[in-house]
């Protein structure tokens, strides 16, 4: 499994951990990770600690997640990016849409 | 097992008549049609005549043995699967292996066991069916692929007609774009502006194939239509973003870089969102200025959130700007390592002649890739600031002088409070004006004149804002806060456009008279001051350089500007 997700029942925080290459092949898994959740999470955390690479279709998937989570009112945090991944997010100015650290 | 292969036509080749008859009887009883041969030569002949679907072949026969017959039959069968089962009394491993080497698919030892024979026939029949299915599907795929390529060629031809009506072939542009780049999601557009400058746009859509290509069409349409109508880069990029946001599904967007070059003013504006850092190379000093992406890609934000803020650069003749999609950065060598930005910077650092930079980049990437596989989606463009002589020689947007557009007309257009609040009349008015044949190429100047005079009338006239406020940074924002507040509360007032165009011997003259409901100002005493300093807040010096005359009238709430244009002239 390249993508593991877990919902913290007490905080309502859904953590989606992406391992390895985050590209189109992860499309369905990534979608399942936030669509197949019983209750609506209060906060989304995309953990990129073990993500080695990000392509533009992954950026598209993040936008789909943002739409799903309420668009402008979505609360999504992208965490633990390595420098390559962070660079791609920065070039696309995704920090305007997501909280990135 | 049931006979699941249906009835087959089976060739039995055996020189021993008894064996042949026994086999014939067994196989026929199993429901198959039988053809027989008594030696290898006859077997090959029967195969050609009867096209059997399976062959039972004795290994040792006179005239031509089974091994040779198998080779010939397999060759004749080509890509069709015609299973050959050798019939043999040979027992040693070497002989049995020889049967398979000659092209046999299996062997059956004499004497025959009818159950095993039947099972083998059924097994090969299944295999044969599978092979047929595979062949059929392969042919279907090949056909589909051929259709797809044909469709792409057609789509590309349509796209080329839309996209390449521009000026990519100008002498100051060098570019590299794969022939089917649009299906990689890469788009490159260039167009001359009516004012003489140039717009260039490089776009990179997420994904590949048709979804990536589909956004490129409206993008190209908007780019060319609005550029030729004299819209600004800000308006064009905003319009493209709004269109893409409206038509593309979430998750599909376009990383893009658009540059606006004013050759005469030596100014370059850049909007960049999501593409790798572009470089401005200053030929004089060899300095490399990085222009990093500071926006989200196109098609992500809705209109009210989208930002058009430009990065502005002063440029000199011979300066070059380089834009690229991530194809260069991500080109991988045979060790699967990417080319990366540092190697690109290195090419610039080593550069001795700006003329060869474009080629240097290509050579560096080619050498780096070496034997590695090309995925062929490298898009690169260099745009150079041409010198005066070249500007004159650049291909013009063709203007047909005989084109019968409106040459003598008058327009009286008044905007009342609701319109002033919610509507920007400038593109509409500009479009009307640029219907005049030949005036289109001056739309940049006309736009400047209209924009300055209109904002004066609205802000200083109708809204009564004092330009003094804008003289320090704090006042600047205060000014715009106040502007928004007063506009919001506006219930009285107007701005009136009176436009008049007449033909002249060499072109035409456009008179713009703008009046407003404000109190006006004491323009006479300011003129008497002998200094035009007081006008600075009103952008008048700029307009004066563009117009034959700029005159204030009435109590200062009326201004008349006369703009002349000529067929032979490209700019002011």
Q: Which of A24, A61, A92 faces B274 most closely, judged by CB atoms?
A: A92
CB B211 within 8 A of CB B268: no
DSSP string computed for B201-268: EEEEESSSHHHHHHTHHHHHHHHHHHHHTT--HHHHHHHHHHHHHHHSPTT--EEEEEEEEETTTTEE
- Distance between CA B453 and CA B538 in Å, rounded? 8
What residues of chain B lie within 8 A of the CB of A92, using their CB? 255, 273-274, 293, 296-297
Sequence-distant (≥ 6) Cβ neighbours of residue A17 within 8 angstroms: A3, A4, A5, A47, A49, A50
Per the model's pLDDT, the better-predicted residue between A15 and B214 turns out to be: A15
Report pLDDT for B572. 37
The edge-to-edge listing of strands for the beta sheet with B558-566 is: B409-415, B495-503, B507-516, B558-566, B549-553
Do B409-566 and B164-393 fall under one CATH topology?
no
A93 inside 8 A of chain B by CB: yes
Interval B12-24: pLDDT, tens: 999 999 989 989 9
- Distance between CA B410 and CA B407 in Å, rounded? 10
CB B67 within 8 A of CB B98: yes
Q: Which residue of B has its CA nearest to A59?
A: B251
Q: What residue ranges define each of the domains in chain A, with the CATH number in brackets?
A: 3-100 (3.30.750.24)
Domain ranges of chain B: 9-134, 164-393, 409-566
- Distance between CA A52 and CA B472 in Å, rounded? 48
Interval B302-336: pLDDT, tens: 988 999 889 999 999 999 999 998 888 888 888 88
Query: Residue B469: is its pLDDT beyond 70?
Result: yes
Instruction: Answer yes or no: CATH 3.40.50.720 is held by domain B164-393.
Output: no
- Distance between CA B162 and CA B349 in Å, rounded? 38
Interval B80-114: pLDDT, tens: 999 999 988 888 888 888 889 988 999 888 888 88
Asked whether the ipTM of the predicted complex exceeds the cut of 0.90, the reply is no
Taking the CA of residue B396 and the nearest CA in chain A, the distance in Å comes to: 35
CATH of domain B409-566: 3.30.565.10
Report pLDDT for B219. 93
Instruction: Answer yes or no: CATH 3.40.50.2300 is held by domain B9-134.
Output: yes
Interval B246-301: pLDDT, tens: 999 888 899 999 999 988 778 899 999 999 999 999 998 989 999 999 999 999 99
Q: Residue for token digits 């062959």?
A: B55
- Distance between CA B189 and CA B215 in Å, rounded? 13
The two tokens of residue A14 are 């859904």
Per the model's pLDDT, the better-predicted residue between B222 and B155 turns out to be: B222
* pTM across the whole model: 0.66
Report pLDDT for B160. 78
Where are any strands of DSSP class E within B14-105? 33-37, 54-58, 84-88
Query: Residue B4: is its pLDDT beyond 90?
Result: no
Interval B518-563: pLDDT, tens: 988 777 666 555 444 444 455 677 788 889 999 998 888 999 999 9
- Distance between CA B193 and CA B262 in Å, rounded? 9
Query: Residue B571: is its pLDDT beyond 50?
Result: no
Query: Residue B395: is its pLDDT beyond 70?
Result: no
Cα–Cα distance list, B298 to B246, B252, B307, B355, B509 (Å): 11, 10, 10, 32, 39
- Distance between CA B345 and CA B331 in Å, rounded? 15
Neighbours of B545 (CB within 10 A): 11
A23 inside 8 A of chain B by CB: no
Mutation target to probe the B interface, by most B beta carbons within 10 A, among A26, A66, A93, A95 is A93
Residue % of chain B over a pLDDT of 70? 92
- Distance between CA B450 and CA B492 in Å, rounded? 22
- Phi (first) and psi of residue B62, to 5 degrees: -70, 175
B296 inside 8 A of chain A by CB: yes
Report pLDDT for B528. 55
Interval A35-83: pLDDT, tens: 988 888 999 999 999 998 888 889 989 999 999 999 989 999 999 999 8
| CA neighbor of B296 nearest in space, from B312, B304, B308 | B308
Judged by CB atoms closer than 8 Å, whether chains meet at B251 and A97 is answered as no
Q: Which of B251, B295, B305 faces A60 most closely, judged by CB atoms?
A: B251
């Amino acid at each position: 499994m390249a993508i593991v997700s877990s919902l913290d029942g007490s905080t309502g925080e859904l953590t989606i951990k992406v391992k390895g290459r985050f590209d189109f092949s992860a499309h369905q898994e990534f979608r399942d990770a936030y669509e197949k959740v019983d209750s609506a999470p209060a906060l989304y955390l995309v953990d990129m600690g073990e993500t080695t690479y990000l392509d533009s279709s992954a950026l598209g998937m993040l936008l789909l997640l943002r739409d799903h989570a309420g668009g402008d009112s979505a609360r999504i945090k992208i965490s633990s990016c390595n420098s390559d991944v962070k660079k791609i997010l920065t070039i696309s100015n995704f920090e305007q849409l997501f909280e990135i650290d | 097992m049931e006979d699941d292969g249906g009835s087959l036509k089976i060739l039995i080749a055996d020189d021993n008549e008894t064996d042949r008859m026994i086999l014939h009887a067994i196989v026929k009883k199993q429901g198959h049609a039988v053809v027989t041969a008594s030696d290898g030569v006859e077997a090959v002949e029967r195969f050609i005549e009867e096209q059997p679907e399976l062959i039972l072949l004795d290994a040792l026969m006179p005239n031509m043995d089974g091994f040779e017959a198998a080779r010939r039959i397999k060759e004749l069968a080509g890509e069709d699967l015609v299973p050959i089962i050798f019939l043999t009394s040979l027992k040693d491993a070497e002989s049995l292996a020889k049967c398979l080497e000659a092209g046999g698919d299996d062997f059956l030892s004499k004497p025959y066991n009818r159950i095993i024979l039947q099972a083998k026939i059924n097994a090969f029949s299944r295999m044969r069916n599978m092979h047929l299915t595979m062949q059929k599907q392969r042919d279907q795929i090949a056909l589909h692929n051929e259709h797809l390529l044909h469709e792409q060629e057609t789509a590309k031809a349509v796209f080329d007609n839309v996209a390449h009506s521009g000026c990519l072939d100008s002498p100051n542009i060098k570019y590299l774009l794969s022939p089917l780049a649009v299906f990689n999601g890469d788009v490159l557009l260039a167009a001359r502006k009516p004012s003489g400058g140039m717009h260039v746009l490089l776009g990179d859509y997420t994904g590949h194939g048709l979804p990536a290509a589909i956004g490129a069409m409206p993008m190209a349409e908007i780019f060319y239509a609005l550029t030729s109508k004299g819209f600004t880069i800000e308006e064009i990029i905003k319009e493209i973003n709004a269109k893409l946001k409206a038509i593309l599904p979430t998750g599909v967007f376009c990383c893009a870089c658009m540059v606006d070059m004013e050759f005469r003013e030596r100014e370059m504006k850049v909007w960049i969102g999501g593409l790798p850092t572009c470089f401005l190379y200053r030929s004089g000093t060899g300095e490399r200025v990085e222009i990093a992406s500071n926006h989200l890609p196109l098609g992500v934000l809705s209109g009210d959130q989208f930002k058009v803020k430009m990065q502005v650069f002063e440029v000199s003749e011979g300066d070059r700007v380089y834009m690229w999609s991530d194809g260069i950065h991500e080109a991988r060598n045979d060790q699967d390592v990417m080319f990366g930005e540092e190697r690109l910077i290195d090419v610039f650092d080593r550069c001795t002649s700006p003329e060869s930079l474009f080629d240097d980049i290509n050579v560096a990437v080619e050498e780096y890739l070496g034997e590695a596989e090309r995925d062929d989606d490298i898009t690169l463009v260099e745009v150079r600031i041409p010198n005066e002589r070249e500007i004159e020689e650049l291909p013009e947007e063709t203007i047909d002088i005989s084109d019968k557009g409106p040459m003598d007309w008058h327009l009286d257009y008044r905007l009342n409070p609701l319109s002033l609040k919610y509507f920007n009349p400038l593109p509409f008015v500009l479009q009307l004006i640029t219907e005049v044949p030949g005036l289109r190429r001056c739309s940049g100047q006309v736009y400047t004149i209209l924009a300055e005079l209109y904002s004066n009338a609205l802000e200083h006239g109708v809204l009564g804002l004092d330009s003094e406020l804008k003289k320090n940074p704090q006042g600047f924002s205060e000014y715009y806060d106040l502007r928004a507040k007063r506009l919001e509360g506006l219930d009285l007032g107007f701005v009136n456009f009176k436009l008049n165009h007449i033909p002249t011997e060499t072109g035409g003259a456009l008179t713009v008279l703008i009046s407003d409901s404000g109190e006006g100002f004491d323009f006479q005493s300011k003129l008497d001051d002998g200094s035009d300093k007081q006008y600075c807040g009103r952008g008048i010096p700029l307009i004066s350089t563009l117009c034959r005359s700029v005159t204030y009238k009435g109590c200062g709430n009326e201004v008349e500007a006369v703009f002349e244009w000529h067929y032979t002239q490209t700019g002011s």
